[in-house]
Structures are given as C-alpha cells and as structure tokens.
Structure 1
Amino acid sequence: MLIFINSCTWLDESEHQKIIEQYEVGWNDLESNRAILKKVENSENYYNIIVSDYVFAVGHNESYIIANQHQNFNAETNYYLIDINKKKHDNSKGIHGPLNKAEFEKIKKKLNIENLNFDMIFKDKPRSAKSK
C-alpha cells in the first residue's frame, strides 16, 4: 500500500518557468493553480506565493514584474505590479494589487515603465481538471 501511495506523486503534473532571480510563474497539480512564486532562500522546493491563481500573463524587466490574474475564475482581470527591489528588503512591501486597468496604467506611468509589456502569455482560462 505504501508503494502505491508514494507512486501517485509521480503522476502529479506541474510547470514552472523562471521570470527573474528567485521568481517563477508556475503551477502544481492543476493548471488552474498557476501563480507567481518566489523561492524560499536556502530551499530547493519551497516557495512563497506572491500572486495567487489564476495568473495568465506576466512581464518583467530588471526592477519590476507585472501580472494579469483572474481570481476565483471570474471574468474581471486583476493587475499586479511587483517592485523587485522593495520586495528584497522588506517581504511585506513591493506588491501593488489587485488593481483595475486604470490604476495599473497610472502606476506604470508614475514609475516610468509604460513600455513594460507582458511577454509570458498563457491561456486566458485554464483547462479544467475534467479535460485532462
């Protein structure tokens, strides 16, 4: 029985892509769990969730990460901006969001990053567990 339980972990699906430094966009078990994660220091397999599911677009430069999210699978898009440098110095700071489109564009303009675009684009809606 123990062998069967342990062998089930081999069936878990996941996908992770590095964004920058310790940041990744990824999911475990279900694509609908896609989030922005930050590796815990001195750890191989532990992450802090920075923006929860469902993240469907990400962009970045050396100072900022931007993301689009559909929280709880609703149609409304939430926007996030992560200030990488502020997040390095104080884990509780550096995240702007959830924002609406107008708030997001205003912050991008204030930070002079209007040209920062989404370059990691995923499905707007994840495939459901039933469609596997």
Structure 2
Amino acid sequence: MKKTNLFLTIIFAFLNYSCAWFEESEHQKIIGDYEVGWNDLESNRSIHKLIKNCDGCSEVIIENYVYAVGHNEKYIIAKQIQNFNGETRYFIIDIKKNKISSQKGIFGPLSETEFEKTRKELQIESLKFDLNFSQKPKS
C-alpha cells in the first residue's frame, strides 16, 4: 500500500509541475507538409516541415518570428522580422525543390528589393500574403 501511495504521489507531482501540460501553442497548415506555428511563446512563430513517419515531428524551415505567409501549389512566401533589430526579411520556398531536402529550394533571407526581383524572375508577382499575424508578437 505504501509503495502505491508513493508511486501515485510521484506521478501527481510530475503531472502537476510538468510544463508540457501547460504549454500553449498554435499551428496552422500552409500546404502539404508545411505549417506555420509556435510552441511556448507566440514570438517563436516559424515555418515547419512535417517529418514523414514521425507523429508530431517537424523541422524548422524558417526561424522565428514569421508574421506573414502566402502560397500556391509551387511556392511559399514568408515575411520574418528579426527580434534583435526589427528588420524585415523575406523568404521564398520552392516546394518541389524543398521536397527532397529541407536545405534546398529556399531563397532568403532577402531584402524587400531582392524579394520583389526574385518574385518577378519566378513569375509569382501575384502571390499574396494570405496568412497575416501581428508584427509585434506577445512574448
């Protein structure tokens, strides 16, 4: 009986003090294996690529803080603001090239001028940012 009570006390303490049970998060599918989201803090919002055959596993493709995302069948575009200097950087993900390796098919970080030039070269000028979040995340 004492062993059971001790075991239950340890389990209760673990569950009560474990941060994993209280973490907030938000994730939104972009397209295919890609999602934009955060764990713990909204300021951690980034673009992730889900890892096949691994439930709940993902790889960060574009680090925080991502505040705008757009996509079509071939490309994902994103705006990222750097927390330390407030500079906006732009990214373009070529979904087909990135399918094989998460390190391929990513244009960026780009300045706004470089971003517009690359969009023109890829013929995706009409692609809009359709997922928009606050530029100043809650910490």
TM-score by length of 2: 0.87
- Percent of aligned positions that are identical: 55
Please tell me whether the aligned partners of residues 70 and 129 of structure 2 are also in contact (alpha carbons under 8 angstroms): yes
Gaps of at least 5 residues in structure 2 are: 1-9
In 2, Cα distance between equivalents of 1:81 and 1:5: 43
Q: Distance in 1 between matches of 2:80 and 2:126?
A: 20
> What does the per-residue CA deviation read over 1:65-105, in whole Å, with 9 as the maximum and x for residues that have no partner?
00000123432100000000000133321001110000000
Report how many aligned residue pairs link the two structures. 128
Paired residue for 2:4?
none
Which residue of 13, 35, 56 corresponds with 2:24? 13
TM-score, L = length of structure 1: 0.91
Aligned to 2:103: 92
> Would the alpha carbon gap of residues 125 and 73 (structure 1) be closer, same or farther in structure 2, given more than 3 Å must change?
farther
| Larger Cα-atom Rg | 2
Matches of 1:25 and 1:4, distance apart in 2: 33
Q: Any residues of structure 2 matched to 1:1-132 within 5 Å, and which?
A: 1-7=10-16, 8=18, 9-128=20-139
Return the offset for 1:43. 1.1
Give the RMSD, CA atoms, in angstroms: 1.3
Structure 1: tracts of 5 or more residues without a match: none
Matches of 2:57 and 2:84 in 1, distance apart? 25
Provide runs of 4+ in structure 1 moved above 6 Å. Answer: none
Distance 1:52 1:90 in 2: 17
